[in-house]
A and B are shown apart, each in its own frame.
Chain A
Amino acid sequence: MDANTLLLGVVVLTALAFDFTNGFHDTANAMATSITTGALRPRIAVALSAVLNFAGAFLSLKVAATIASGIVETGAVTLTVVFSGLVGGLAWNLLTWYFGLPSSSSHALIGGVVGATLIAAGTSAVKADGLVTKVILPAVLSPVFAIMVATVGTFLVYRITARVPEGTRFRGFRIGQIGSASLVSLAHGTNDAQKTMGVITLALIAADVLRPGSGPPFWVIAACALSISLGTYLGGWRIIRTLGKGLTEIQSPQGFSAEGSSAAVILAASHFGFPLSTTHVCSGSIMGSGVGKRLAEVRWGIAGRMAAAWVITIPAAALVGAGAWKGTDVIGGMGGVTAVFALAVAFAGALFMAARRVPVTHDNVNETWTGTLAPERERAA
């Protein structure tokens, strides 16, 4: 096996690992509301979301041309740049998961690739206007849109159903929540699994395994679908807890209007070709469902931390991406890639161990929010 094949193997492995973190990072987007309102039991919710993500990955095979196309010069994207970008995205995804912060996996990946490209090929290889119109503008506007839609929706839903008996109301909104959350899961599988398919396809083309312009082979589609759905099934309980319990206390009518708003905004954006992040939309919708309900409390401190994480996602992932590229370059060759890969694995392991000290699981995800991510019972233990 030559060095290039080995490098390709590492890139594919890293891409699938990224896809996996993408899955468990974003379970919360679709399922946090259904889990906290009791519409679905936690394990059932993540299983349903996993199946729909898997199916979603097969639904549409028109892969978004390449990662970060229009943002970086495609000519500057080498296998090492892709690898370093993935490491940047992966590191940021894991760190934000540890802190229970929902942040955009696409932004993390774009940030990683931009950082790696900047240091590999210089500033001329990054298209600033593309970064503004394709990433920054949508990032600012999508949560605002979602907040608006969910606020109005929640307000009206409460007004309309004020006289409906509690039993009918809960049952009705339970079904509504499951339906709308399923739609969000399906859309997520279609959008996000395709990003990784795009990355792997790009790597295969760069390594001359595929001809330029080829679509992803079946094994790539299947591997990405499997990877994102396994991640989803694992459930990012830490993020689910922040979104479902920390940001605001959600009841089933709010859960329904939040997911309804998310589904509508995501599908509308994908129809009109406006690139926005599922995470930003879903977090905005949940915030809106808190604003729209009279006397509901939105914990703006947590919202502020989330917004801060969104702002630093791209620079932080870019920094790691750039560092990863420099690391592989300084050490050189396959040894450099192996060293950076090993470092990334060690970082993931360390965070996993740290998270186990005060674990958030399907068992305690719905514990009363007492100001921190760690449930009271776990802290006392």
Chain B
Amino acid sequence: MNLVEEVDALWKVLLAGMLGGVGLVTLYAFGLLMVSGRVTENGGTFARVMGRAVGGACFTVVLVGAGVGLYVILAK
């Protein structure tokens, strides 16, 4: 790997790192917020159920992200 390829890889690493390390981490935090019911506490039953569903969807995306990480190790 020469210097040009190295710098090219650098940007990708930073971008992917941000996507996983910030994106998935904050999505997980958002999922926690949704399932905690704090956002939907003044709404009706439907709002609460929707809140939990959105939270569950966030956790699923995070799990898929972790799965992609595992795939990266396996496919290397």
Contacts and interface: CB of A to CB of B under 8 A. Distances in A.
A256 B13 contact: no
Nearest to B73: A190
B74 to A, nearest CB: 6
B72 to A, nearest CB: 5
A152 interface: yes
A148 B70 CA distance: 23
A264 B26 CA distance: 13
B33 A267 contact: no
Given A265-B13, A268-B20, A274-B6, A153 B73 contact: no
Interface string A27-61: 00000000000000000000000000000100110
Contact of A164 (B14, B24, B32): B32
Q: Is the interface of A mostly helix, strand, loop or mixed?
A: helix
Given A270-B73, A270-B76, A271-B76, A263 B26 contact: no
B63 to A, nearest CB: 9
Interface in B20-48: 20-22, 24-26, 28-30, 32-33, 35-36, 38
10 contacts: A148-B14, A148-B18, A149-B17, A164-B36, A183-B69, A263-B66, A264-B16, A267-B73, A272-B9, A274-B10
Contacts, number: 138
Which of A165, A267, A271 has the most chain B CB atoms closer than 10 A to its own CB?
A: A267
A220 to B, nearest CB: 19
A273 B1 CA distance: 9
A261 B17 CA distance: 7
Interface of B: 1-3, 6, 9-10, 12-14, 16-22, 24-26, 28-30, 32-33, 35-36, 38, 66, 69-70, 72-74, 76
Given A163-B33, A263-B21, A264-B19, A274 B73 contact: no
A370 interface: no
A164 B33 contact: yes
A62 B72 CA distance: 13
Given A133-B6, A179-B66, A264-B20, A271 B25 contact: no
Interface in A262-318: 262-265, 267-274, 285
